[in-house]
Amino acid sequence: MHVLLLGGTTEARRLAELLAAGPSPGLRVTNSLAGRVSAPRTPPGEMRVGGFGGAEGLAAWLREHAVDLLVDATHPFADTITRNAAHAAATVPVPLLVLRRPGWRRVEGDVWHDAASLTEAAALLPALAARRVFLTTGRLGLAAFAGLTDPWFLVRSVDAPEEPCPPHAQVLLDRGPFTLDGERELLRRHRIDVLVTKDSGGAATAPKLTAAREAGLPVVVVRRPPAPRGVPVVGGPEEAARWIGAARGKRVP
């Protein structure tokens, strides 16, 4: 059985480890990375890096390489590849599973402002009287904030962000997991008054939310896009591994 695992996340890497370590003779796993991170953490199994050329290109790859099962374990905001995966899986057809870590939940003391997009998030900042913004939405999409000339931005990402960036910005290249003490110090040292983040979920980058709550700071949270309709969704690698095991059991030789 050939599984194509669309990865690049902690959950994808953990799933690849579970599949490699399990009693799974005859299971072939190909990990696919988009190639947007310069030094990705590589999981066990076969590797391919780069795009497929849209939904049609992915469908052609699934046929050419005799893929039996497609797992989308990409970032919760990788909406384009998720839509392409759903289209390609339905076209071939092959079963598709979406692995998405649960989103963050608001707790008492949080001062969250929901936004449907980065553009909407940027539009909220003047009303919040933002002067020093901690921007943790990744290296893509910063053009939404480029027109804000008054606030100063601390932009944190794994790799250098794409232009255009806000005119008053400092780039901090760093990769999680982050500690609560570290996030507290970051907010204090840079005198941050607003945090902007995507609802990526997971524990690796959650300490910034706790630090912001402790400091009483407003947080603009960009909502994640919905998963494709009619596609099974699981929240963790262990559940995904069990789903794959069940799918293997149903497969007719």
Mean pLDDT by 10 residues, the chain (253 residues): 93 93 79 72 84 95 97 93 96 96 94 97 96 94 95 94 93 93 98 97 92 98 93 95 84 45
pLDDT score at 247: 85
**C-alpha to C-alpha distance for 102 and 100, rounded to whole angstroms:** 6
Beta bridge partners of 48: 32
Report pTM.
0.84
- Under a CB-based contact definition with an 8 Å cutoff, are residues 6 and 62 in contact? no
- Under a CB-based contact definition with an 8 Å cutoff, are residues 191 and 178 in contact? no
CA angle 195, 198, 203 (to 5 degrees): 90
| CATH fold for domain 2-102+225-250 | Rossmann fold (3.40.50)
Residue 247 three-state SS: helix
DSSP alpha helix (H) spans, 44-200:
54-64, 79-91, 118-124, 180-189
φ, ψ of residue 243 to 5 degrees: the values are: -65, -45
pLDDT score at 31: 94
pLDDT score at 162: 87
Provide CATH 3.40.50.720 ranges for the chain: 2-102+225-250
pLDDT score at 253: 39
In the β-sheet with 152-157, what is the strand arrangement from edge to edge? 111-115, 218-222, 194-198, 132-136, 152-157, 169-173
Residue 210 three-state SS: helix
Please provide the DSSP assignment of 97-134 as one string.
EEE-PPPP---TT-EEEEESSHHHHHHHTTTTT-SEEE
Quick one: how far is CA 219 from the chain centroid?
A: 19
pLDDT score at 26: 76
Count of all residues that appear for the chain in the document: 253
CATH assignment of 111-222, given 3.55.50, 2.40.128, 2.60.40, 3.40.50? 3.40.50
> Which tokens is 68 given?
């039996």
